[in-house]
Amino acid sequence: MDVLMNFCTEFFKIWTSGGILMWPLLLIAILIYWLVFDMFSRLSKNNMPDNILLFDTDNLPPKVSNIINDILEDNPAPTVMRNRVLAMKAEYLPNIKGRLNILTILAGVSPLLGLLGTVMGMLNTFSQMNRVSVQTSDLMAGGISEALITTQMGLIIAVPALIMIMILKGKRDKLSQFFQKLESVCYYNLVSQPTDKAA
């Protein structure tokens, strides 16, 4: 229990020495990792198979499994099927793309915000040195170390976020490829079916 209290005390001391920009960094970190975990949960629910015809439809979202079952059973007209696939693709992919864009922007902003905190801390250090008329290396070293806390925090937020964004982009690409395969199967059915069923 003492170790936890000591850690919390030390963390709070470091946090407060980082300056006012630590609070926006905390807000960005919460927003980034909430979006990341939300997208991981959404994309894991939509884990699509590599081969459309060889899989268990019970593990897929209901809309996707209904469309695939219809394709396998050859129930509706192919034009209706293709329109259903396009509607489902339009429902899934733009939302994912928009969230990934927001994540990329936030991950890019956090190190820049940390750098801004460092510049503000350095200016504060130099102004204190001017006021006191002291030019000791101890005062400067202490001020610089405090000023670099925001840059360190910005990098701690951004680096794992960028790695997670790359993983999410891979999942998004896999989902997009799945929809393209599904659309091509519908198109193949549309071309191969007699014209009276396709109409």
pTM passes above 0.75: no
pLDDT value of position 97: 85
Round the CA-based radius of gyration of the chain to a whole number and report it.
27
Please list the alpha-helical segments (H only) found in the chain: 2-17, 22-45, 62-73, 78-132, 137-192, 195-198
pLDDT value of position 107: 93
| Whether 100 contacts 2, CB under 8 Å | no
Which residues in the chain show pLDDT less than 70? 45-82, 132-143, 185-199
pLDDT value of position 182: 73
pLDDT value of position 199: 41
Amino acid identity of residue 92, one-letter, is Y
CA–CA separation, 171 and 59 (whole Å): 17
pLDDT value of position 136: 63
Cβ neighbours, 10 Å, residue 3? 7
Q: What is the pLDDT of residues 66-95, one digit of tens each?
A: 666 666 565 556 666 667 777 777 777 778
CA–CA separation, 12 and 34 (whole Å): 23
Structure tokens at 134: 């002291």
Structure tokens at 120: 């503000």
